[in-house]
């Protein structure tokens, strides 16, 4: 299921990051790698704020759609 469709506050494991090579590399540099624990903190103005590796990161809903949990 894409990350932008999960409920806030639940913990998930990332299964796969899809998209173009440039997009995948960008997300991987932020810590979005297969096996990483992630949870959605909140959604603001179309952005998704996630907690990953003890850091809060805001990504667009288009980017969140490429993260499969």
- Per-residue model confidence (pLDDT) at position 40: 94
Contacts of 65 (CB under 8 A, 6+ apart): 2, 3, 4
Q: The tokens of 10 are what?
A: 């639940």
What tens digit of pLDDT does each residue of 13-62 get? 999 999 999 999 999 999 999 999 999 999 998 899 999 988 999 999 99
| CB-CB contact of 40 with 9 (8 Å) | yes
**DSSP one-letter code for 3:** G
Residue 5: CB partners within 8 Å, gap ≥ 6?
A: none
pLDDT over 90 at 66, yes or no: yes
Q: What is the pLDDT of residue 14?
A: 95
Closest-CA residue to 5 (of 36, 33, 31, 40): 40
């Amino acid at each position: 299921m894409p990350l932008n469709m999960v409920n806030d506050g639940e913990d998930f494991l990332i299964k796969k990051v899809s998209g173009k090579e440039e997009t995948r590399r960008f997300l991987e540099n932020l810590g979005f790698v297969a096996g990483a624990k992630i949870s959605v903190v909140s959604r603001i103005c179309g952005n998704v704020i996630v907690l990953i590796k003890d850091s809060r990161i805001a990504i667009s809903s288009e980017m969140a759609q490429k993260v499969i949990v």
